[in-house]
Amino acid sequence: MPTILTLYEFSDEHAKQIRDIAPDYELKTVPIKEVTPEQIREADILVGWNRKMEQAAVESDTLKWVQSWSAGVDYFPMDRFAEKNVLLTNSGGVHAIPISEHIFAVLLSMTRSVHLNIRSQVRGKWDKNGTYGEAAGRTMVIVGTGHIGRATAKLAKAFGMNTIGVRHSGRPEEYIDEMYRTHGIEEAFGKGDVIVNILPLTDDTRHFFDKDSFGYMKKGALFINVGRGPSVDTDALVAALDSGTLSGAALDVFEQEPLPEDHPLWKREDVIITPHVAGNTDHYDVRATEIFIDNLKAFVNGETLPCNLVDYSRKY
């Protein structure tokens, strides 16, 4: 009997749905820390991932589909999967609400100097220093306008902001006032009061935000990174902060994680650091499971997987 091996515990209700959809499959649950290479090699469908299981996965003669529990897939052996015709789907869309809300949490914090007020509170100081601006009327440039970018743009419009999008195709998107292709960033960045990075990590996006990119930005812009850490050249980011090109930055992801304790970013008052938690939510597992179930319905019928099928040629 073919096997669905899940490294995550499904609820009783979801497990019943899965068994009803795929009655010819055995549903086997093994905690991620306990799974063995042999179990990986024998699975037909794998739900979840750990980098330590890569060798067993690419050696498998039965594995047909991997459902990632994360949205990012840059750490998967995509070339090997493509060679073996193994499908890969991610959990894109799970993060749209928490990450878009996180973006506005840090945006409003920096716009209203709440981050400085909190630091003063820790020191026991009544200190009104800081700038007290407004989000309304400002222009947000969203780089990467998928599920998260669309949700972020919707919130931006609710706050009375203007929205500009940057995406590879240049295709229009709801809640985006203007859309630019990636080769049009010089003009787009020059209009932005807030630049939000939501890019996936590919060969084309590694160090997408470099010295030139930061140089295109309007002086005093705020930079928010909830995409992938290596899409930003950290040295160029620090230089942009030092020069005043950026008035501040809110960073959830980094080239090196955890961010080293002696890194200069920790001590900057114009920076908010969060430890890669923007996508965390207590609704995560339910949403990811629903994506898997929608894909499973198609898989057992021999149809194209409808949700988040990774294009190996584009690496996302």
pLDDT in tens, 292-310: 999 999 999 999 999 999 9
**Cβ(296)–Cβ(306) under 8 Å?**
no
Instruction: Answer whether residue 306 is part of any domain.
Output: no
> Are residues 120 and 87 part of one domain?
no
pLDDT of 177: 98
> Are residues 66 and 182 part of one domain?
no
pLDDT of 84: 97
> Are residues 136 and 47 part of one domain?
no
pLDDT of 231: 97
Instruction: Answer whether residue 312 is part of any domain.
Output: no
> Are residues 226 and 89 part of one domain?
no
Instruction: Answer whether residue 309 is part of any domain.
Output: no
Instruction: Answer whether residue 117 is part of any domain.
Output: yes
Count of structural domains, the chain: 2
Instruction: Answer whether residue 307 is part of any domain.
Output: no
Instruction: Answer whether residue 168 is part of any domain.
Output: yes
pLDDT of 149: 97
> Are residues 219 and 250 part of one domain?
yes
* Residue 183 appears among annotated catalytic residues: no
pLDDT of 290: 97
Q: Which domain holds residue 100?
A: 96-273
**Dihedral angle, C-alpha 38, 43, 46, 47, nearest 10 °:** -80
> Are residues 147 and 31 part of one domain?
no
> Are residues 222 and 101 part of one domain?
yes
The percentage of the chain sitting over the pLDDT mark of 90, rounded to a whole number, equals 97
How far is it, in rounded angstroms, from Cα 46 to Cα 57?
A: 9
Catalytic position from the list 102, 138, 147, 228: 228
> Are residues 250 and 166 part of one domain?
yes
Instruction: Answer whether residue 278 is part of any domain.
Output: no
Grade residue 108 by pLDDT with cuts at 50, 70 and 90: very high
* Residue 257 appears among annotated catalytic residues: yes
* Residue 276 appears among annotated catalytic residues: yes
How far is it, in rounded angstroms, from Cα 75 to Cα 193?
A: 32
Q: What is the mean pLDDT of residues 271-287?
A: 97
> Are residues 135 and 23 part of one domain?
no
Catalytic position from the list 14, 276, 287, 290: 276
Instruction: Answer whether residue 305 is part of any domain.
Output: no
Task: Quick: pLDDT tens for 111-163.
Answer: 999 999 999 999 999 999 999 999 999 999 999 999 999 999 999 999 999 99
How far is it, in rounded angstroms, from Cα 103 to Cα 47?
A: 29
> Are residues 47 and 8 part of one domain?
yes
3-class secondary structure, 222: strand
How far is it, in rounded angstroms, from Cα 207 to Cα 83?
A: 28
Task: Quick: pLDDT tens for 174-207.
Answer: 999 999 999 999 999 999 999 999 999 999 999 9
| Phi, psi for residue 221 in degrees, rounded to 5 | -70, 155
Give the Cα-Cα-Cα angle 80, 292, 174 (nearest 5 degrees): 95
How far is it, in rounded angstroms, from Cα 16 to Cα 19?
A: 5
* 272: number of Cβ within 10 Å: 20
Catalytic position from the list 9, 257, 269, 303: 257
The domain that contains 76 carries what CATH number? 3.40.50.720
How far is it, in rounded angstroms, from Cα 88 to Cα 76?
A: 9
> Are residues 239 and 148 part of one domain?
yes
> Are residues 54 and 10 part of one domain?
yes
